[in-house]
Chain A
Amino acid sequence: MHRFANPTQFMRIANAIYPWVAGLAVILFVVGLPIALVTSPPDYQQGQTVRIMYIHVSSAWLMMMIYGIVAGGSAAFLIWRHPMANLVAKASAPMGAIFTGLALITGMLWGQPMWGTFWVWDARLTSTLILFFLYLGYIALNDAFEDSERGDRAAAILALVGSVNLPIIHFSVEWWNTLHQPSIMKLSGDGVKSSVDGAILLPLFLMMGAFTMYYLAVLVLRLRSELLAAKIRNARMSQVAVDAAVGQPAE
């Protein structure tokens, strides 16, 4: 894992996978969207609102996965001072916040016609809202200190502490009596089981795959951007040092 701490090596692999994940995202969206929006049947209870599920569940899946990546990257940064792990966490967090917001809002748009309310303070919805605030806190802490290293460490600690919220979100529908329905997938000794019909599972998996590939593709672009920002900072600092050494004012 430590060899991936080298930005050049890390980006060599990231850049190599970029065309594949970007291409897969396009293919999965092109195939999945018409199935999700047109050809898949309405649900026997939810009717056409089941189509909201295809983006709601995909956003919720990404918000959990991205927080796992932010927390994992933060742990690697705190324990091994892994710079790329920290960069992955920093580049992912804004996307995680947006997907959490998207999961919350699409859930509300589904909840009003199906439950008769946009919002209830049940365990699943409340813990997801807390996740949204954890993302915002992480992003704010990153930029809260003049010394960026201190900001990174404070944000990483918050991300690790906040990771306790992930199992709470996942198991909230089992631990408490919630209005939110239980998971549609169950992992048992016989493998993964679902009570949902294949005609609805197909667009769901296609959209989840499309969202995941989209996240990975954009992550590579954001990592390139973050590394460039670091290079620009370093170049400016060395210019200031050179100007100071020769007695010229820095521009």
Chain B
Amino acid sequence: MDAILNYLNMDGYAAWVWPAYGLATVALVGILVQTRRTLKTREREFETLKSSRRGGQA
């Protein structure tokens, strides 16, 4: 347990190291999630447009 706490403490630099990694994680995951969400929304929108045009032509 002490070893884990010592590690997390980062020799007293925990307040600088962990926020840096936390922020990087938020940025990387955030970009990926936002990109995938926009892509999925546009895929659905395009499919709806295509099917409505097919319906209009029929």
**Residues in A lying within 8 Å of B, measured CB to CB:** 37-38, 42, 47-49, 51-52, 55-56, 59, 94-95, 98-99, 101-102, 105-106, 109-110, 112-113, 214, 218, 221-222, 224-225, 228-229, 231-232, 235-236, 239
Contact = CB atoms under 8 A, between A and B. Distances in A.
Contacts, number: 81
Contacts of A105: 20, 23
- Chain B facing A: main interface SS: helix
A232 B49 contact: yes
A110 B23 CA distance: 13
Interface of B: 7, 10-11, 13, 16-17, 19-21, 23-24, 27-28, 30-32, 35-36, 38-39, 42-43, 45-46, 49-50, 53
Nearest to B37: A225
Contacts of A218: 31-32, 35
24 contacts: A48-B17, A49-B17, A51-B17, A51-B20, A52-B20, A55-B21, A55-B24, A95-B31, A99-B27, A102-B27, A105-B20, A105-B23, A106-B20, A109-B20, A112-B16, A113-B13, A218-B35, A221-B36, A224-B39, A225-B35, A225-B39, A229-B42, A236-B49, A239-B53
- Chain A facing B: main interface SS: helix
A235 B45 CA distance: 11
A98 B23 contact: no
A110 B20 contact: yes
Contact of A52 (B17, B28, B32, B49): B17
A98 B31 CA distance: 9
